[in-house]
């Protein structure tokens, strides 16, 4: 393989806060690393050290202040996610890069099934087909069928996180970004997450997770990056 799947070079992020007298805060000092296909790359460190900032810069929810993030895209070839135009990013989000936030942000009045299927709909999969896959995922995640048509707004934190993870994994992206995937989960579900990561790797997905939960995710990581 000529290029790694993802090469982060000199990534730096600062926020200029216009409303607070133009003060600048920089949660993330320069960071560089490389992620290979199929790899599980774990970033750990105490909270507030900028772990999430890295993921958001990769996903372009944040605009990096400096550095490059080279991604080996199937659609566009080698592309710098810092500079790529928005429509390219949107296409990459649909087809190649998934993101699982720490908390599920759901659209109100949309059922659990539709929520989990949404990435498949976006990829243009037929509704029936997508929902068949969605149901499989929901039962694997241990969601009882009477909840499938309900809105996740009413779910418990653990249930919401399961939906959140399912949504991220279902699309089988080439790169999956997980933000504290085991937070607010019980031990059994934490193990489920580890299995899901392994299964995704087996299907060809590279995973970058950020966590302070080294005990659970450490053993299944191929590489680790500690932020100090």
Partner 1 sequence: MERPTDDWLLRVEGLSKRYGPGCPSCSRLTGPEAGTSQCPRCGTVLACVAAGLSLRPGEVLGIVGESGSGKSTLLQMLNLAVKPDSGAIWYAEPGGGTPIDLLRLNAYSARRFRNDRLGIVHQRPELGLNMHFSVGGNVAEKLLLAEWRHVGKIRARTSELMAQTELPVERIDDAPGTFSGGMLQRVQIAKALASRPALLLLDEVTSGLDLSVQARVLDLIRRIQWEEQITMLLVSHDLGVIRQLARRTIVMKSGHIVESGLTDQIMEDPQHPYTQLLVSSAL
Interacting residues with partner 1 (CB under 8 A): 15-19, 56, 60-63, 75-76, 79-80, 83-91, 107-109, 121
Check: CB of residue 192 under 8 Å from CB of residue 139.
no
Rg of the chain in Å (alpha carbons)? 18
CA angle 15, 20, 22 (to 5 degrees): 55
Q: Between residues 141 and 177, which has the closer beta carbon with respect to partner 1?
A: 177
What is the nearest approach in angstroms of partner 1 to the Cβ of residue 115? 13
What is the nearest approach in angstroms of partner 1 to the Cβ of residue 107? 6
Write out the E strands in 169-222: 175-179, 206-211
Q: Between residues 127 and 198, which has the closer beta carbon with respect to partner 1?
A: 127
* Greatest extent of the chain over all pairs of C-alpha atoms, in Å: 53
What is the nearest approach in angstroms of partner 1 to the Cβ of residue 63? 6
Q: Between residues 14 and 132, which has the closer beta carbon with respect to partner 1?
A: 14
Q: Between residues 15 and 148, which has the closer beta carbon with respect to partner 1?
A: 15
What is the nearest approach in angstroms of partner 1 to the Cβ of residue 76? 5
Check: CB of residue 196 under 8 Å from CB of residue 205.
no
3-state helix, strand, coil in the chain (%, to 5): 40, 25, 35
Q: Between residues 9 and 91, which has the closer beta carbon with respect to partner 1?
A: 91
Phi then psi for residue 145, to 5 deg, are -55, -30
H or E stretch covering 88: helix 86-95
What is the nearest approach in angstroms of partner 1 to the Cβ of residue 92? 9
Q: Between residues 47 and 87, which has the closer beta carbon with respect to partner 1?
A: 87
Check: CB of residue 121 under 8 Å from CB of residue 111.
no
**Residue 101: how many CB atoms within 10 A of its CB?**
18
What is the nearest approach in angstroms of partner 1 to the Cβ of residue 104? 14
């Amino acid at each position: 393989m000529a290029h790694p799947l993802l090469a982060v070079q000199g990534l730096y992020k600062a926020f200029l806060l216009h409303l607070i007298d133009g003060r600048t805060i920089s949660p993330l000092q320069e960071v560089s690393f490389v992620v290979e296909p199929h790899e599980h790359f774990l970033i750990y460190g105490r909270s507030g050290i900028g772990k999430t900032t890295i993921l958001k810069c990769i996903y372009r929810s944040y605009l990096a202040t400096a550095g490059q993030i080279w991604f080996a895209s199937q659609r566009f070839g080698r592309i710098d996610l810092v500079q790529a135009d928005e429509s390219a990013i949107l296409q990459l989000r649909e087809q190649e890069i998934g993101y699982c936030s720490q908390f599920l942000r759901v659209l109100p009045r949309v059922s659990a099934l539709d929520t989990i299927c949404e990435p498949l709909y976006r990829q243009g999969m037929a509704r029936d087909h997508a929902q068949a896959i969605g149901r499989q995922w929901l039962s694997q995640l241990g969601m009882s069928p009477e909840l499938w048509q309900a809105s996740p707004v009413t779910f418990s934190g653990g249930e919401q996180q399961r939906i959140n993870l399912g949504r991220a994994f279902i699309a089988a992206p080439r790169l999956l970004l997980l933000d504290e995937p085991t937070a607010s989960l019980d031990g059994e579900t934490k193990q489920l997450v580890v299995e899901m990561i392994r299964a995704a790797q087996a299907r060809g997905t590279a995973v970058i997770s950020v966590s302070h939960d080294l005990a659970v995710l450490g053993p299944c990581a191929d590489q680790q990056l500690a932020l100090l």
